[in-house]
Amino acid sequence: MDLAEGAIGLEDDIVTQLLLARGVAREDLARHLSPTLRSFLPDPSEFQDMEAAAERLAEAILGGETVTIYGDYDVDGATSAALLIRLLRMLGHDARYYIPDRLLEGYGPSGEALVRLAEEGSSLIVTVDCGAMAHDALKQAHDAGVDVVVVDHHKCSAELPVTAALVNPNRLDESETGAAHGHLAAVGVAFLLAIATVRTLRARGYFESRKEPDLFALLDLVALGTVADVAALHGLNRAMVAQGLKVMALRNNTGMAALIDASRINRAPTCSDLGFALGPRINAGGRVGESTLGVRLLTTEDAGEAQDIAARLSALNDERRAIEAAVQEAAEAQIDAQHNRSVLVLAGKGWHPGVIGIVAGRIKEKTGKPTIVIALDDEDGGYGKGSGRSVSGVDLGAAIIAAREYGMLVAGGGHAMAAGLTVEPGKVDALAEWLDERLSSQVMRSMEERSMVLDLALAPGGLTPELVTTLDSAGPFGVGWPGPRIAVGPVRLVKVDIVGTDHVRLIANGRDGSSFKGIAFRAADSELGQTLLHGSKGRSLWLAGRAKIDDWGSRLQAEMHLEDAAWAD
C-alpha cells in the first residue's frame, strides 16, 4: 500500500517522524528542522495599525519626546516593557516605564495613572500586554492630550478603545496574516513593532550617521516572555524561542545573566528552565513583591544591581510558594462541592491575589477542568479579583468577555487559555452557573478528545542520553508543539518513595537488565502516584512520559518524567 502524502514512513528518522506527527507537511520539513526567524517572520506591516504605531514611535524618537512604557506585572509584561526600553536605548533615546501595583491598581492601564504620566511630561505612552479592553482609561488619556499606542495580544471586543494605534493580532478586524499570528505573546508583538520602527527610521535616514540596532539581541526577552506566558510554540513563536535561547546562552543581557545564576542554572538555559525557573522569579515580583523588579532587572547594565534584584526575586519566589500552598489547600477544599460542574469557580476571603493564577493552573492540571480562583476582598463592598486557566479546546477568554458584556462582571478579559476578572462578591455563584452552562459542551468535547498520544515505545535499554538529545533536536517544545511522549517497558519497580512534598520517585528495572530513574511530579495523592507507591509490587508495567537528561551526577543519564502507567501483565 502506498503511503499517503505527508504520512510517516518507516524510512523516516525519529526527528522527521516527530515533525510529521506535529502536522508539518513533508515539503515544509526543512524550515521546521531548523526554525530560523527568516523562515517564519511575517511582514510587520501586515498587522493592523502596525505602521501607525511605528510611525508614532519613530516620530517620538526623532523629536526627542518623553516616552513611557506602561507594562503589566507578569513575565510577558515585564519582558515586553524591557524589550521596548532596550530598543529605545539602542536608538539613542531613553524611556520611562510604569508598572502598576497588582494589589493597589489591578490589571491594565488606569485612567488616573495615564493622565498623571501625561502631566509629568510624557507625550507618548506605549502600553504592553494590556490596554486592548481599557476603553475608559484610554478615553481619559485621549482627553488629556496624550497619545497612547497599545501593544497587546488579549482578546478584543468589536468596539476598540480610542488610541493612536492598537497593534494586536487578536483584533476582530485583523488581516488574514495578522490573525494567523494570534498565538503570539505580547513580547512577540512588541518585537514585530521593534522591526517596524527600525524600518521606519531607516526610511527617514536615521541610520545614515549611526549604526542600526541588533534586534536579534532582544530575542532572549522574547523567548522568556513567550514561554512564561504559555504561548503556543509553533510557527513564529517556535522560531523566536529557538533563536532566543541561543542569545540567552551568550549572557549579554546583564540582568538575564544574573537571573540565570540566581536560578542555579550552570549550563545554557532550556525551554523548561524559562517556564519553571526564570519565569516564576520574574513573576514573583509582581505577585508578592514590587511590580517593577522584573523590568528593572531586565534593563539594568549594572552587574551589582542585577545580582541584588535577582537575589530578591528568588527570595520572593520562595515566599510566593508558601503563600500559594496555603491558598491551594483552601481552594481544593471547595472542589468536592462542585464535582458536577464543568468549570470550577473557587473563591475565598483573604486569598492573596498574587497567586490565584498559579493556583488555578495547578487545580486545572489536577482536575482536567477549566478553573477560576477568586480572591475576595476582606472588606464588605469590595470586589473579588479572579484568575482563570483553561484546557485545550475551551476558550475561557471569550467566555469571560461575554460574561462582562452580559453584566456578570465589573471587568474581565484574556485569551483562550487564561483570563482575569473583577466580580462583585454577590455574583460569584451566578457567574459559576453562567460559565458552567456556556462552556459545558466545550469541556465535555475536550474531555472526550483527551488522550495521551505516544511518539515512541522502547525497551528500557533504549532510554539513553543519546536518544534524549535526538528527541530534543525537534524542539523547543511547549503548548502547541508538545514534547515527545514515550512508553518504556515492561519494567518492575525496585524502589519507590516520596521526595519533597508530593513527588513520587522510582527506580525501574527492565527484562533486558537495564535500569533507569523516574519521577512523577506532584503525584503522591493521585491515582498514578498511589499505584506506583502501593500497587505495583511484583507486577510489570509500562511507564509513559517524557525522557529527560539527568545531569546531577558525574555521568549523564536518561530518566523519565512520568505522566501515566499501564500494567504489562
> In this predicted model, what pLDDT tens digit does every residue of 335-381 receive, in sequence order?
999 999 999 999 999 999 989 999 999 999 889 999 999 999 866 56
| pLDDT tens-place string over residues 453-502 | 899 999 999 999 999 999 999 999 998 899 999 999 999 999 999 999 89
Q: What is the pLDDT of residue 2?
A: 38
Neighbours of 244 (CB within 10 A): 28
Look at residues 152, 92, 150 and name the one whose alpha carbon lies nearest to residue 126. 150
| pLDDT tens-place string over residues 385-418 | 999 999 989 999 999 999 999 999 999 988 888 9
Quote the CA–CA distance of 103 and 323 in Å, as a whole number. Answer: 15
| pLDDT at residue 6 tops 50 | no
Q: What is the pLDDT of residue 379?
A: 67
Provide the 3-class DSSP secondary structure of residue 20: helix
Rg of the Cα trace of the chain?
Answer: 24
Long-range pairs for 245-253: beta carbons < 8 A, 24 or more residues apart:
245/220, 245/269, 245/270, 245/271, 245/274, 245/476, 246/219, 247/216, 247/217, 247/218, 247/219, 247/220, 247/223, 248/220, 248/223, 248/224, 252/217, 253/217, 253/220, 253/221, 253/298
| pLDDT tens-place string over residues 44-66 | 999 999 999 999 999 999 999 99
The model's pTM is: 0.88
Q: How confident is the model at residue 100 (pLDDT cuts 50, 70, 90)?
A: very high
Neighbours of 377 (CB within 10 A): 14
Cα–Cα distance list, 91 to 64, 67, 129, 214, 221 (Å): 11, 13, 22, 10, 18
| pLDDT at residue 10 tops 60 | no
Q: What is the pLDDT of residue 286?
A: 85
| pLDDT at residue 1 tops 50 | no
Q: Can you list the domains of the chain with their CATH numbers?
A: 1-31 (no CATH), 44-315 (3.90.1640.30), 333-449 (3.10.310.30), 456-567 (2.40.50.110)
DSSP 8-state class, residue 379: S
- Flag the least confident range among 92-101, 237-246, 297-306, 443-452: 443-452
| pLDDT tens-place string over residues 284-302 | 998 888 899 999 999 999 9
| pLDDT at residue 247 tops 70 | yes
Is residue 412 within 8 Å of residue 398, measured between CB atoms? Answer: no
| pLDDT at residue 97 tops 80 | yes
| pLDDT tens-place string over residues 128-185 | 999 999 999 999 999 999 999 999 999 898 999 999 999 999 999 999 999 999 999 9
Q: How confident is the model at residue 3 (pLDDT cuts 50, 70, 90)?
A: very low
- Flag the least confident range among 112-116, 359-363, 437-441, 525-529: 525-529
C-alpha cell at 290: 514590587
Q: What is the pLDDT of residue 104?
A: 78
